[in-house]
Amino acid sequence: MILIALGANLPSAAGPPRATLEAALAALAARGIAVLARSPWYRTPAYPPGSGPEFVNGAAMLAGPSAPEAVLADLLAVEKALGRSRGLRWGARVCDLDLLAFGDRVLPDAETMRAWMALGDRAGDMAAPERLILPHPRMQERAFVLTPLADIAPRWRHPVLGRTVAEMLEALPAEASAGIARL
């Protein structure tokens, strides 16, 4: 099971953010990656607060290449084709496709993953890791990721934390979900 998060808060050549994310899913399918399930779209506040216009966020369950690195390469290629340019981390963007999980794989290892998880918001001040880290080290902190993910994979269990998506979402403080609304 491949789980991804999708987000956008700037228009692209495909149209406004929601249309861009629809185009991203179509582009993944055109690359041979099956979209097995997808969440509804949600309007969410920009993260970090004040960093730009509101986002459209969602999640999808995919089937595709057997290597997480190949899936990541496809996600990055689709982002680029839709006009994503990498600049400010956690800034406004045309399209953001994040690989959240690849089954129960932990990459590169549990110790490295835990170290990135422990950084919290300080991770935004650091360069992106050189190696793929799975599951995504911030997913358990973000209602804008967990809310749509709970629509399609509520029972997926984090292989390091041992909690399901539903449990991680329930553990967040109420204010984490403030401003999130289904479109």
The pLDDT tens digits of the residues spanning 59-95 come to 999 998 889 999 999 999 999 999 877 655 556 788 9
pLDDT digits (tens, 9 = 90+) for 38-66: 999 999 998 777 777 999 999 999 998 88
86 is catalytic: no
Structure confidence at residue 88 (pLDDT): 55
Instruction: Report helix, strand or coil for 36.
Output: strand
Contact 182, 39 (CB under 8 A): no
Q: Which of 38, 96, 138, 142 is catalytic?
A: 96
Structure confidence at residue 39 (pLDDT): 98
74 is catalytic: no
CB atoms within 10 A of CB 156: 22
Q: Which of 18, 38, 86, 98 is catalytic?
A: 98
pLDDT digits (tens, 9 = 90+) for 101-134: 999 999 999 998 898 888 876 665 566 667 899 9
In the chain, the domains with their CATH numbers are 2-182 (3.30.70.560)
104 is catalytic: no
31 is catalytic: no
Assigned token pair, 179: 């401003």
